């Protein structure tokens, strides 16, 4: 009996760009989209781990390409756009690249604040605008911004990060309105606590969710009702919904994927 070929994935024939794809949520999103059939261009400024992720996907027989991109550099965005122009299409952009910041308010400098804004908010905006011409040609244009629960909640020692991610949240709404006439859907994911490198403690002693204070507040006493941090693939699964055809009438939405944290006090 002849074995039947696997059916094409729901994103077959589409081209996606995922920023911050060298690890964590970005790598998980790129993997999910590639396994769903998309041609995925992985973008990150860390070239070695980026190529390792792309190579692993190609080893599965998937269509994955890597390009080193610093989203704060206009020339890098232009180079990515030129590459996509040669491929003649772009359907999906996932703005995930970000840096973490936990600087206390009294120690926050103008330079650090502007650096966090440049990556976490401005980078997503200029990446979107830089690739907008290509997205407008697509019949399936999708932009998904990865923000954070900290963008919708007040958290101590997170002024720069919270300001940037809050900006991404409302930028999503504004872009959704502006790009609706082009048929481009723009949505946002706000992850809660996720088991990634960003959860590492500054002293390198482990992850924040392994500490006694985290286990007491968020696990033992149910500040996270599901009583665990998310895995990157769980964020990728939600992101994938916004990238596909099941959300044809969904735009300008902010989805908190946080294990229920936002439902508690």
218 tagged catalytic: no
Residues in CB range of 254: below 8 A, 6 or more apart: 147, 152, 169, 172, 173, 187, 188, 190
Residue 198, Cβ neighbours under 10 Å: how many?
A: 17
Q: Which of 161, 218, 221, 249 is catalytic?
A: 161
Pick the closest to residue 144 from 133, 128, 130, 131 (CA basis).
Answer: 128
The sign one gets for the Cα dihedral 58, 240, 258, 103 is positive
3-state class (DSSP) for residue 200: strand
Q: What's the CA gap between 126 and 73, in Å, rounded?
A: 9
Tokens of 23: 């690890």
Total residue count of the chain as it appears in this document: 265
Which residues are marked as active site?
A: 161
């Amino acid at each position: 009996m002849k074995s039947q070929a696997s059916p094409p994935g729901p994103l077959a024939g589409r081209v996606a760009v995922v920023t911050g794809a060298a690890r964590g949520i970005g790598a998980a999103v790129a993997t999910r989209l590639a396994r769903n059939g998309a041609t995925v261009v992985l973008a990150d400024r860390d070239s070695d781990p980026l190529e390792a992720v792309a190579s692993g996907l190609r080893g599965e027989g998937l269509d994955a390409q890597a390009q080193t991109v610093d989203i704060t550099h206009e020339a890098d965005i232009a180079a990515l756009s030129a590459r996509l122009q040669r491929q003649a299409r772009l359907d999906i952009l996932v703005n995930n690249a970000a840096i973490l910041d936990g600087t206390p308010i009294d120690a926050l400098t103008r330079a650090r604040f502007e650096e966090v804004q440049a990556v976490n908010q401005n980078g997503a905006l200029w990446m979107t605008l830089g690739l907008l011409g290509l997205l407008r040609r697509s019949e399936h244009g999708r932009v998904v911004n990865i923000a954070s629960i900290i963008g919708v909640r007040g958290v101590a020692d997170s002024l720069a990060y919270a300001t940037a991610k809050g900006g991404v949240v409302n930028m999503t709404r504004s872009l959704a309105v502006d790009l609706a006439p082009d048929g481009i859907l723009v949505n946002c994911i706000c992850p809660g606590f996720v088991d990634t490198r960003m959860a590492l403690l500054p002293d390198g002693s482990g992850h924040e969710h392994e500490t006694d204070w985290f286990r007491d507040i968020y696990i033992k006493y149910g500040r996270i009702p599901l009583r665990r941090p998310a895995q990157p693939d769980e964020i990728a699964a939600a992101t994938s919904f916004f990238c596909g055809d099941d959300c044809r009438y969904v735009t300008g939405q902010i989805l908190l994927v946080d294990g229920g944290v936002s439902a508690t006090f």
